[in-house]
A and B are shown apart, each in its own frame.
Chain A
Amino acid sequence: MAPEAALAGDAPGPRYSGAVITDRIAGIVLARPTHWGFLAGLGVSAAFTVLFLVAVGYLFAVGVGIWGIDQPVAWAFAITNFVWWVGIGHAGTFISAFLLLLRQHWRTSINRFAEAMTIFAVAMAGLMPILHLGRPWFFYWLAPYPDVMNVWPQWRSPLVWDIFAIGTYIIVSIVFWYMGLLPDLATLRDRARTRGKQIAYGVFALGWRGEARHWHRYETAYLLLAGLATPLVISVHSVVSLDFSFGLVPGWHSTIFPPYFVAGALYSGFAMALVLAVPLRAAFGLRDFITERHLAKMGTLMLVTGLLVAYSYGVEVFSAYFGGDAHEIAIMEDRYTGAYAPVAWAVILCNVVIPQALWLGWVRRSALALFALGLVVLVGMWLERFLIIVQSLAHDFLPSSWHLFVPTFWDLATLAGSIGAFALMFLLFLRFLPAISMAELRKEAHHEPMHQ
């Protein structure tokens, strides 16, 4: 640690000193007046949240029959949304945990909001499987607890594994995120000028005072959490993929699913991170914290995971023919030529063809282009999950049972509503918590000045 570098950290003068970082970011939460665009966004997302609540209320009142699901397609939108949201929820932890282990210091300016994104996405995801139950008020029967029936969960079911995977994931994500927030909450407590805010932030800061020994244990724990969260991230979507590959439905029953799903998850996760980061830095003037460099790196990651996904598509088709199972082959042929072929080709377009633009440097550097690509990939990934789930079910072993799925208004309302609720939570997060980790930035500033 060179002394002059150290000086650059504190003494007033050079940009990005700890003081500047702190005041700029804390200012967003404490001082900055609410932007009209922010309010507009809040309004829209609130409206969609209401739609979500209506859809759920009607669902509970009448039953899952209000959706388009049928025999044989007993799973459709709800599970598609579930997988999609869980996938999006993967980028956050990946960025903050995995990149931390890899000493990717650039992550510091994006991990905080990425983690928030994770939590809200996983919250949405966690809701879906409960909503899709025929008798949602008995959802807790999936959890082991001593009851008057003396009956336990059926541990061989991937759905039970799901409960544990998703449950663990959301708890760990929240702990990880909150732990990262501790020092910043302390900062806000100390920067806050009104008693109310001081108390609010102070309570959650748990009396953090930046003592050296505390910092030491803090860093150890943080590193351990990162080390534990990384395999967790991989495991969660692997377990989710088992919901399908564990079944013997042709188009589901495949060993490639775990890696395939994890790649897809990160793919959509980075896409969502970009979709959130671009307007965020514009709206709150954080361009010099979340720089083109950050966006470009995320773009690169998106390209990599995108290629993995493309590879998986290829392997899926290949293994069907290579394996020679008539049912698998039939599924693949129907997927790209049958009733759902438009969806299949849309998936190829969104997830394979268009993202190749990321090879171009200027695309990776253009915030707008990345934003657009993010949206395209998000749509593509949703469609991919829809395709895997619905098309496979609609075309399984006995032709006599084949039947197409047609969504209803309530299917769409649930999807749109969940996006609205997600946006609402994220906007509120931006308003009340620092979107970028001040403590870590201070540390970074002190290590290497950030002008690249």
Chain B
Amino acid sequence: MTKQDPRQVFALMAEFAGPAALMDAARACRARYRDIDAYTPYPIEGLAEVLGFRRNGVPFWTLVGGIAGGGGAYFLQWYSAVIDYPINSGGRPLHSWPAFIPPTFELTVLGACLAAFLAMLLLNGLPRLNHPIFEAPDFDLATRNRFFLAIRATAPGFDVDEARALLAGLHPMRIVEVPA
């Protein structure tokens, strides 16, 4: 493969056969570079942390969604039944709070679930149909049985040859340059 100008390179990517090898490689590279991605066919415990994953954010937004859903539901019921149009239904009090609980609960759950899902997507920067990494040969195996480790060109002090050397030392199945 020919040497390229770093600016045309998106990342330098190594392909591994199994999670264990990937783990070790990740640790090694992480010691040297900051912007490292790993692509696996299924979640691998601890890998994200190894890559320096900090803020998850999903639980927080789930809580927010839940509170919004529940609070909104109860307010809506109280406002419509007590303030906006009070009507005597079966002699029950206008503010029949026990009856207001079920919708409140349901909407709490709904709000939380939607928030969790959306937070997961957006924090992950999805949906993103077009991504340079898809250009990489063999990358379709990332959703089957291969494990990839990519050092992004944006990494401070990134140098293709140095990175290639580093990766080569980790016995990958192959190493490829992913064009930007």
Q: Which residues of A contact B (CB under 8 A)?
A: 1, 3, 6-7, 9-11, 17-19, 22-23, 144, 150-156, 158, 160-161, 164-165, 167-168, 171-172, 175-176, 179, 183, 186-187, 189-191, 202-203, 206-221, 224-225, 228-229, 231-232, 235, 239, 242, 439-440, 442-443, 446
- Chain B contacts for A203, CB-based, 8 A: 129
A212:B48 contact, CB within 8 angstroms: yes
Query: Taking A3-B20, A156-B89, A164-B107 as contacts, is the C-beta distance between A228 and B112 under 8 angstroms?
Result: yes
A172 contacts B20, CB within 8 Å? Answer: no
Pick the contact of A224: B43, B59, B133 (CB < 8 A): B59
Contact A211-B113, Cβ < 8 Å, known A168-B106, A216-B48, A235-B105: no
Produce 1/0 per residue, B123-135, CB < 8 A to A.
Answer: 1101111110110
In the complex, the answer to whether A220 meets B106 with C-beta atoms within 8 Å is: no
Q: Please report whether the interface of chain B is mostly helix, strand, loop or mixed according to DSSP.
A: helix
Q: Which listed residue (B17, B84, B133) contacts A10, Cβ 8 A?
A: B17
* A164 interface neighbour in B41, B102, B123, Cβ under 8 Å: B102
Residues A202 and B129 in contact, CB atoms below 8 Å apart: yes
* B15 shortest CB reach to chain A, Å: 12
CB-based contact A172/B56 at 8 Å: no
Instruction: Say how far A427's CB is from chain B's closest CB, in angstroms.
Output: 26
Determine if B99 is an interface residue (Cβ-Cβ < 8 Å): yes
Measured in the bound complex, the distance between the Cα atoms of B133 and A167 in whole Å is 39
Nearest residue (CB) in B for A179 is: B117
- Closest residue of chain B to A161 (Cβ to Cβ) is B102
Say yes or no: A6 contacts B19, CB within 8 Å. Answer: yes
Contact A206 B41, beta carbon cutoff 8 Å: no
Contacts of B38 in A (CB 8 A): 211-212
Q: Is the CB of A231 within 8 A of B145?
A: no
24 contacts between A and B (CB under 8 A): A1-B20, A6-B18, A18-B145, A22-B41, A22-B145, A152-B80, A155-B80, A155-B81, A160-B103, A164-B103, A164-B107, A190-B140, A207-B131, A208-B126, A209-B39, A212-B51, A220-B59, A221-B120, A224-B116, A225-B117, A228-B109, A229-B113, A235-B105, A440-B42
Whether B39 and A210, one on each chain, are in contact in the complex, defined by CB atoms closer than 8 angstroms, is yes
Known: A239-B102, A442-B42, A443-B43. 10 other contacts (CB 8 A): A3-B20, A168-B107, A168-B110, A172-B109, A191-B143, A210-B39, A215-B43, A220-B59, A228-B109, A229-B113
Contact B56 A217 (CB under 8 A): yes
User: Does B155 sit at the interface, judged by CB under 8 A?
Assistant: no
Say whether A10 contacts B96, CB under 8 Å. no
B51-92 CB mask vs A (1 if < 8 Å, else 0) is 101001111001000100000010011001100110101101
Q: Are B41 and A442 in contact (CB under 8 A)?
A: yes
Q: Interface extent on B, as a size class?
A: 35 or more
Docked Cα-Cα span, A208 to B126, in Å, equals: 7
Q: Contact check: which of A144, A150, A210 meets B143 at CB < 8 Å?
A: A210
Cβ–Cβ contact A220 & B58, under 8 A: yes
Considering only CB atoms, which chain A residue lies closest to B122 in the complex? Answer: A217
* Nearest CB of B to A341, in Å: 34
Q: Contact at B120–A215, with CB atoms within 8 Å? A: no
CB-based nearest A residue for B141: A190
Give the 7 A-B CB pairs with smallest separation, nearest first. A206-B127, A190-B140, A152-B80, A215-B43, A18-B145, A221-B120, A216-B48
Whether A217 pairs with B58 at a CB distance below 8 angstroms is yes
Q: How far is the CA of A435 from the CA of B78 in the complex (A)?
A: 44
A218–B45 Cα distance when bound, in Å, is 12
Q: Max chain B CB contacts within 10 Å: which of A144, A191, A211? A: A211
Given contacts A11-B18, A207-B129, contact A155 B39 (CB under 8 A): no
- Are B119 and A9 neighbours in the complex by a CB distance under 8 Å? no
* Bound Cα distance A218, B44 (Å): 12
Q: Which one of B19, B127, B134 contacts A9 once the chains associate, using CB atoms below 8 Å?
A: B19
Q: A189 contacts which chain B residues (CB < 8 A)?
A: 143
Which residues of chain A come closer than 8 Å to B121, judged between CB atoms?
Answer: 206
A228 and B20 contacting across the interface, CB-CB below 8 Å: no
With A6-B20, A155-B96 as contacts: A171 and B80 at CB distance below 8 Å: no
Question: CB distance B120 to A18 under 8 Å?
Answer: no
Q: Does B100 contact A (CB under 8 A)?
A: yes
The answer to whether B102 and A207 touch across the interface, beta carbons within 8 angstroms, is no
Chain B nearest Cβ from A272, distance in angstroms:
24
Query: Whole-angstrom distance from the CB of A329 to the nearest CB of chain B?
Result: 27
Give CA–CA (A410, B124) in the complex, Å. Answer: 51
Give the distance in Å from the alpha carbon of A361 to the alpha carbon of B108 in the complex.
Answer: 43
Q: Is B62 a contact of A224 with CB atoms below 8 Å? A: yes
Inter-chain contact B99/A206, CB cutoff 8 Å = no
Query: Quick check: A212 and B96 within 8 Å, CB to CB?
Result: no
Contact present for A165 and B90 (CB under 8 Å)? no
Complex Cα gap A283–B141 (Å): 28
Given the complex, which residues of A lie within 8 Å of B43, measured CB to CB? 212, 215-216, 218-219, 443
Known: A172-B109, A190-B143, A224-B58. A209 touches B133 (CB 8 A): yes
